Every structure is written in structure tokens, then in C-alpha cells.
Amino acid sequence: MNNKLPLNQILQGNSLELLKTIPNDSIDLIFADPPYFMRVEGTLQRPEGGNFSGCDDVWDNAFSDNADYVAFTQA
């Protein structure tokens, strides 16, 4: 079975709905780098045990609160 998609294609929409339309075994890599709303006071623990300091980047400060961030990620 040939499960190839066109190369260098950008899909835009609800990711949960779009994933249903993509054939199995047709994608080698998905790279996602959305704003993660990581502005925090203090530190966060990394899974491997180190500390991660919260960031103060423009894109993370674009959200007024958690509800605003959730609305962005669901758009």
C-alpha cells in the first residue's frame, strides 16, 4: 500500500480532525513549537530531574490567563 502524502505540505485546522484524514504510516516527522505558556514564578522540574526556569518571552506573555491560552491552543 502506498501511504505517501505530497512533500512539504502544510495542513491547517483542528489537529484532532486533521489526524483522522491522514493515512497510517504516511508521516515521518511532526515538529510542533507552539507557545507553551511557560511564564512561571520560581522553577519547574524537568523529567530528568534538573530545574527549568520559567521564561519571559514575548509569545508566552501574549496570554492574559490560562483560559486565554486554552482558547489559543484550540483555535
Cell triple for 57: 518571552
- Assign 10 a pLDDT band (cuts: 50, 70, 90): confident
Q: Identify residue 24 by its one-letter amino acid code.
A: N
- Assign 1 a pLDDT band (cuts: 50, 70, 90): very low
- Quote the CA–CA distance of 74 and 60 in Å, as a whole number: 16
pLDDT of residue 22: 86
Per the listing, cell 483522522 goes with: 20
Per-residue pLDDT tens over the stretch 18-65: 888 888 888 777 776 666 666 666 666 777 888 776 666 676 677 788
Task: Look at residues 20, 58, 19 and name the one whose alpha carbon lies nearest to residue 39.
Answer: 58
Q: Please list the residues that pair with 51 across neighbouring strands.
A: 45
pTM: 0.36
Q: Which of 9 and 52 is assigned the larger pLDDT?
A: 9
